[in-house]
Structure 1
Amino acid sequence: MTCKPDCMRFGAFIAPYHSLAENPTLILERDMQLVELMDRLGYDEAWIGEHHSAGFESIASPELFIAMAAERTRHIRLGTGVSSLTYHHPLILADRVVQLDHQTRGRIMFGAGPGQLPSDAAMLGIDPAKQRDMMVAALETILDLFDGKVVNRDEGWFRVIDGRLQVLPYQRPRMEVAVACAVTPNGPMTAGRLGASMLSVAASSGAGFAALPDHWRICEEAAREAGRTVHRDSWRIVAPVHVAETREQALKDVSHGIMDSVVDYLRKLGMEKALPSIAGLETGEQAAKAWADNTWATFGTLTYGTPDDVAERIEQMLDQSGGFGTFLFLAHNAADWEATRKSYDLFAQYVMPRFQDRDRRTQSVDWAAARAGELIGAMGKATEQAIEKHKDRLHQS
């Protein structure tokens, strides 16, 4: 049975991915403009990534980006998507996030993960095999600090002695906290045990899609064992999509920059052996079709097409997962800026309403249509009566 939310929310997961040929100053501005556009179009949230190497994912500090984005938007909620907890002392990171919570008047969300890029970990001398355990320890510490507790903890890689926040979160009891989940059960277990939301970043990948029902079951069981509750409406699903007025136009759009923004990145990371479908690609159209037919690691599987095509994909993910609360674009930047703007616009115009109480308007027009004869007849009769009344007044005068 699928549990569909009464009013699904929508947003974007902005890693982001950009061609190495682009101006690094201008791509930051374009990411900012995307968040501004989403705010105007009525999207609910944007999650901003943290990366420190490999060049393509060019935002190093989601907190800095969010601070500026908050000044340029009015409604959209802004999340760290995600803060790599193993790269920071938990007390300092908690303090920064709380400051953002106050600066944004409660529009901040805190997404947590271990750190995705092995090249980031290598520069910091971190063993990737230890990152998940390190993240859990850091997150436990941060949540205690958010809750106003005094923390004493020694994990070797960080120590906290009588640690406490000098200011508590603006949102009470605290801002929403989400844990990044990919394919393994670690993320769902941590989210459930700590009562956090799940942020399923690989939900459209083959393994990630298959794991969705198990992930919710694991999360619920872990929450129950810890005496906590979790809710499907706080579960977020990420997938790469692109919308255009026709499938042909959508294919043309994503063919434009997919080789530079996605394929080149995967190849430079040495992924050709793990992802045979990226080998031998020579054109953007070949790449777009290959991505739509295959899973490309945590990039998932691309859906391009009309609003109907993308809505159908969301329905599939709802059915597979059993229900979730928020659908997030993976901001892939395979299309150029104008086509990307059009995609987000079309999605807001024609996809969002299908999952946001569209039945109410349909029921209203159906009710009016069923009574059309009666209502139009009554209106015609009222018009005739008004004319006759006016004639009577003329005769009396």
Structure 2
Amino acid sequence: MNRPFLEHGLFIAPYHDIDESPTVALRRDIELVAWCEQLGFREAWFGEHHSTGWETICSPELMIAAAAERTRSIRLGTGVVSLPFHNPLMVANRIIQLDHMTMGRTMFGAGPGLLTTDAQMLGIDIKAQRDMMARALDVILRLLRGEEVTDKSSWYTLERARVHLLPYSHPHPEVAVASAITPSGGMTAGKYGLGMLCVAATETAGFDVLGENWKIANQVAAEHGQTMDPRKLRLVAPMHIAETREQARADVREGLARWCEYFDRVAPKGMGGLVGNGDPVDLLVNAGRAVIGTPADAIAMVEKLIAKQGEFGVLLLQAHNWAEWGATKKSYELYARHVMPHFERVNRLRRQSFDRLREDFEEMAEERQKGADLAFARWREKTGQE
């Protein structure tokens, strides 16, 4: 299967155990991005959350600014900015500033906000969040293009608002919309021809609607004179891999159990049920929701996503912190050594060359020996030796 443009990246919500140092955890998020850049990962996205104690990045923009100074080429995205929580002009200005600071490596991911506890603290009607996101995104795109905007909503007022810097990137940084299960993300992305961040791609409900949501995005795009680019379609998948399945299971045994206690309490309907129903590794792996195994298992997961979705641009590994730091870094290294080359097909010619060596080995060995025998014979002839 020819995969000319599949790239690989990170999606860092993040998930930080409430019994560990938040300072160390945040520093390790930045270190992880630097490590993965060395391994060949092409992009990293940081989330925005304000409650629950686990997902402790409240400003993805700050993480991008810090990570940009530790890296050289990896693209860095907001994954995502929860638009109902912000004034659109402030969001546009921050993204433009980051675009200049990173010299074009910034990506802007937008969404309505996932955690209901975040919205409750801000007095936001949870049912209105998707509409609020769509309205703010329209304003932000106009501001990024340098337009003057006057608009008033329930949470912001703009009077002849405009940015005072144009983006470093032309016409502006890449923009992607969060998409989970409902069609709203695909509809919004299609309206403007934007990328999509499928954050629940391996969850049963999310996996089932991958193709349908992409179809919806393309239909809406056609209605608005836009075109959807599969290179800008990103799927998120949680994985931890080791040399053996047994080792992978051992690596995550304690951390996964802790994560499940948290995830069951914040997961959308149909995505919980991990506590009290058996071994969480078995529950996740058997349902196809995660990879906890070997590089071969990771390849199988990506192939499954390809078979379901078709072409897409980036596979994002969910940074879950199920394992200790050393095993976590090893997992990404194994992915880079064995999974990436499979889809990039970088070893195709090497394998062909080695196959030819195996096929022609006996014949070439015989010819090589004839050459050596001839050299000895000529030496004997020259020196008069028998």
- Normalising by structure 2, we get a TM-score of 0.92
1:232 and 1:355 map into 2 onto residues whose CA distance is 16
Q: Secondary structure at the match of 1:363?
A: helix
Which structure's relative contact order is higher, taking Cα pairs within 8 Å and 6+ residues apart? 1
Give the deviation of 1:292 after TM superposition: 2.6
Q: Secondary structure at the match of 2:4?
A: coil
Q: Does 1:361 align with 2:350?
A: yes
One-letter amino acid matched to 2:348: D
Residues 6-21 of structure 1 aligned to structure 2 (within 5 Å): 6-21=4-19
Structure 2 residue aligned with 1:292: 285
Q: Does 1:182 align with 2:180?
A: yes
Contact 2:46 2:80 in 1 (8 A): yes
Contact 1:188 1:216 in 2 (8 A): yes
Contact 1:78 1:109 in 2 (8 A): yes
Residues 1-397 of structure 1 aligned to structure 2 (within 5 Å): 5-260=3-258, 262-269=259-266, 277-280=273-276, 286-294=279-287, 301-357=289-345, 358-372=347-361
Contact 2:210 2:309 in 1 (8 A): yes
Please list every run of 5 or more consecutive structure 1 residues that lacks an aligned counterpart in the other structure: 296-300
Question: 1:176–1:384: structure 2 CA closer, same or farther, 3 Å change rule?
Answer: farther
Which piece of structure 1 moves more, 359-368 or 183-192? 359-368
2:350 and 2:332 map into 1 onto residues whose CA distance is 23
Residues 301-327 of structure 1: CA deviation (Å, up to 9, x unaligned): 222111111111110111011221211
Residues 34-54 of structure 1: CA deviation (Å, up to 9, x unaligned): 111101111111110000011
One-letter amino acid matched to 1:308: A
1:187 and 1:320 map into 2 onto residues whose CA distance is 19
Q: Secondary structure at the match of 1:56?
A: coil
Residues 231-275 of structure 1: CA deviation (Å, up to 9, x unaligned): 212211101111011111111111121122x12213554x69966
Give the deviation of 1:286 after TM superposition: 2.0
2:367 and 2:331 map into 1 onto residues whose CA distance is 44
Question: 1:334–1:383: structure 2 CA closer, same or farther, 3 Å change rule?
Answer: same
1:230 and 1:292 map into 2 onto residues whose CA distance is 32
One-letter amino acid matched to 1:240: P
2:102 and 2:290 map into 1 onto residues whose CA distance is 33
Q: Secondary structure at the match of 2:107?
A: strand
Give the deviation of 1:381 after TM superposition: 5.4
**Paired residues, what number?**
383
2:275 and 2:66 map into 1 onto residues whose CA distance is 39
2:149 and 2:383 map into 1 onto residues whose CA distance is 89
Give the deviation of 1:27 after TM superposition: 0.8
Q: Secondary structure at the match of 1:257?
A: helix
Contact 1:5 1:325 in 2 (8 A): no
Contact 1:48 1:81 in 2 (8 A): yes
1:159 and 1:386 map into 2 onto residues whose CA distance is 90
Question: 1:149–1:28: structure 2 CA closer, same or farther, 3 Å change rule?
Answer: same
Structure 2 residue aligned with 1:298: none
One-letter amino acid matched to 2:351: T
Give the deviation of 1:388 after TM superposition: 6.2
Residues 171-191 of structure 1: CA deviation (Å, up to 9, x unaligned): 112211111100011111111
1:215 and 1:4 map into 2 onto residues whose CA distance is 24
Give the deviation of 1:86 after TM superposition: 1.0
User: Sequence identity, in percent?
Assistant: 45
Give the deviation of 1:81 after TM superposition: 0.6
One-letter amino acid matched to 1:359: R
1:371 and 1:149 map into 2 onto residues whose CA distance is 67
One-letter amino acid matched to 2:296: D
Contact 1:272 1:278 in 2 (8 A): no
2:280 and 2:359 map into 1 onto residues whose CA distance is 50
Give the deviation of 1:87 after TM superposition: 0.9
Contact 2:83 2:110 in 1 (8 A): yes
Give the deviation of 1:123 after TM superposition: 1.0
1:276 and 1:170 map into 2 onto residues whose CA distance is 42
Contact 1:244 1:306 in 2 (8 A): yes
Contact 1:4 1:318 in 2 (8 A): no
2:374 and 2:166 map into 1 onto residues whose CA distance is 68
Question: 1:181–1:4: structure 2 CA closer, same or farther, 3 Å change rule?
Answer: farther
One-letter amino acid matched to 1:263: C
Contact 1:13 1:47 in 2 (8 A): yes
One-letter amino acid matched to 1:68: A
Please list every run of 5 or more consecutive structure 2 residues that lacks an aligned counterpart in the other structure: none
One-letter amino acid matched to 1:324: F
